[in-house]
């Protein structure tokens, strides 16, 4: 006698195995692909952070050099101003002394 199988039972088993095989192939391709994408994103993030740190350090160094330059320049200006004021003050004191001497020696001021 022939064993009688229901065509529905065999078809469902075959469809289930095909679905399981398709799902397995999908997972075997998607999981490594997403792992590679996530790895690449992490790598890019590390590189971007390194470049950002380097740029920040370069900007900080440039700012420091600029501040030092401005302070030196202001120091030179202030020293020059102090010298100019000192010279002008001494000159005006001499002029005042000489004016007083001239006024004291002049007959019309007596």
Tell me what pLDDT residue 13 has. 84
Q: What is the pLDDT of residue 65?
A: 98
Quote the DSSP letter at residue 84: H
DSSP assigned state of 72: H
d(CA 103, CA 110): 8
For the chain, the domains span 11-105
- pLDDT-above-70 percentage for the chain: 78
Neighbours of 7 (CB within 10 A): 7
Q: Print pLDDT tens along the chain (110 aa).
A: 455 555 555 567 888 888 899 999 999 999 999 999 999 999 999 999 999 999 999 999 999 999 999 999 999 999 999 999 998 888 887 777 777 666 666 665 54
Quote the tokens at residue 21. 């095989």
pLDDT of res. 104: 64
Q: Residue 91: what pLDDT? A: 82
- Global confidence as pTM: 0.52
Check residue 94 and give its pLDDT: 78
Residue 104 is encoded by which pair of tokens? 């004291």
Nearest-CA neighbor of 85 among 96, 77, 75?
77
């Amino acid at each position: 006698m022939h064993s009688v199988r229901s065509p529905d039972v065999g078809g469902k088993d075959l469809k289930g195995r095909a679905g399981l095989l398709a799902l397995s192939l999908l997972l075997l391709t998607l999981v490594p692909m997403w792992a590679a994408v996530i790895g690449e994103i992490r790598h890019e993030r590390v590189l971007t952070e390194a470049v950002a740190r380097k740029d920040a350090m370069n900007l900080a160094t440039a700012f420091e050099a600029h501040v030092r330059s401005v302070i030196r320049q202001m120091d030179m200006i202030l020293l020059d101003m102090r010298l100019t004021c000192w010279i002008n003050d001494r000159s005006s004191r001499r002029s005042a002394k000489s004016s007083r001497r001239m006024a004291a020696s002049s007959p019309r001021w007596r």
